[in-house]
Structure 1
Amino acid sequence: MTTLLAIGTAKGLFLATSDDGRRSWQVSGVHFPMTGVYSVAMDKRRPTPRLLAGVTSSHFGPSVATSDDLGASWQEPAEPPVAFPDGTGSSLERVWQLTPGAADEPGVVYAGTQPSALFRSVDGGISYELVRPLWDHPHRTQWDAGFGGQAIHTVLPHPADPAQILVAMSTGGVYRTADAGASWRPQNTGIRAYFMPDEWPEFGQCVHKVARDAADAERLYAQNHHGVYRSTDGGLSWQSIADGLPGDFGFPIVAHPRRGGTIYTFPLVADRERFPVDRRCRVFRSTDAGDTWQPLTDGLPTGPFYPAVLRDAMCVDDADPAGVYFGTRSGEVYASRDEGDSWSLVAAHLPDVLCVRAAEV
Structure 2
Amino acid sequence: MSRRIHVATRKGLLRFEPSGGGWHLARQDFLGEPVSMLLADPRDGHLYAALHLGHFGPKLWRSADAGASWEEIPAPAFPPVAEGEEGPSVEMIWCLEPGGADQPGTLWAGTISGGLFRSRDRGDSWQLVDSLWQRPERANWLGGGYDQPGIHSICVDPRDSRRLTLAVSCGGVWHSEDEGASWNHRTHGMYAAYMPPERAEEPDIQDPHRMVACPADPERLWVQHHNGIFVSADRGLNWREIPRAGPSTFGFAVAVHPTDPDCAWFVPAVKDECRVPADQRLRVTRTRDGGQSFDVLERGLPQQLCYDLVYRHGLDVDGSGQYLVMGSTTGHLWVSEDAGDSWELVAGNLPPIFAVRFG
The reply to whether residue 260 of structure 1 matches residue 256 of structure 2 is no
2:269 partner amino acid: L
Q: How does the TM-score come out when normalised to structure 2? A: 0.94
Q: Residue 117 of structure 2 contacts residue 126 of structure 2 at CA under 8 Å; is this kept in 1? A: yes
Residue 27, structure 1, aligned to residue 33, structure 2:
no
Q: Which residue of 2 aligns with 1:162?
A: 161
Match of 1:183 in 2: 182
Q: 2:46 and 2:243 mapped to 1: Cα distance?
A: 37
Q: Return the letter of the residue paired with 2:80.
A: D
Contact map agreement 1:297 1:342 (CA 8 A) in 2? yes
Q: Which amino acid aligns with 1:343?
A: W
Matched, 1:228 2:229: yes
Q: Summarize the alignment of residues 15-164 of structure 1 with structure 2, pairs less than 5 Å apart.
A: 15-19=15-19, 23-46=21-44, 49-58=45-54, 60-77=56-73, 80-87=74-81, 89-149=87-147, 150-164=149-163
User: Contact 2:90 / 2:115 at 8 angstroms: preserved in 1?
Assistant: no
Q: Aligned-pair distance for 1:321?
A: 5.3
Residue type of the alignment partner of 1:143: W
- 1:321, 1:337 within 8 Å by CA — same for their partners in 2? no
1:306-321 alignment runs, 5 A limit: 306-318=307-319, 320=320
**Hey, what does 2:201 align to over in structure 1?**
200
1:74 to 1:182, Cα distance in 2 relative to 1, 3 A = same
Taking every aligned residue pair, what percent have the same amino acid on both sides? 38
Kindly provide the CA deviation profile for residues 11-36 of structure 1, in whole angstroms up to 9, marking residues without a partner as x: 2111111156xx31111454212322
Kindly indicate whether the alpha-carbon contact (under 8 Å) linking 1:67 and 1:74 is maintained by their aligned counterparts in 2.
yes
* Alignment RMSD (CA, Å): 1.6
| Equivalent in the alignment of 1:269 | 270
Does structure 1 conserve the Cα–Cα contact (< 8 Å) formed by 2:217 and 2:259?
no
Q: Secondary structure at the match of 1:273?
A: coil
Cα distance in 2, alignment partners of residues 8 and 74 from structure 1: 15
Task: Report the 3-state secondary structure (helix = DSSP H, G, I; strand = E; otherwise coil) of the residue aligned with 1:71.
Answer: coil
Do the aligned residues in 2 keep the contact of 1:192 with 1:227 (CA within 8 Å)? Answer: no
Q: Deviations over 1:261-284 (max 9, x none)?
A: 110000112223211111111011
Task: State the shift of 1:160 in Å.
Answer: 0.5
Q: CA-to-partner distance for each residue in 1:130-164, whole Å, 9 max, x for gaps?
A: 11101111111111111234210001011101111
| SS in structure 1 at match of 2:14 | strand
Instruction: List alignment gaps of at least 5 residues for structure 1.
Output: none
**Unaligned segments of structure 2, at least 5 residues:** none
Residue 191 of structure 1: CA displacement? 1.1
- The alignment's TM-score, normalised by the length of structure 1, stands at 0.93
The answer to whether the Cα contact below 8 Å between 1:282 and 1:300 also exists between their aligned partners in 2 is: yes
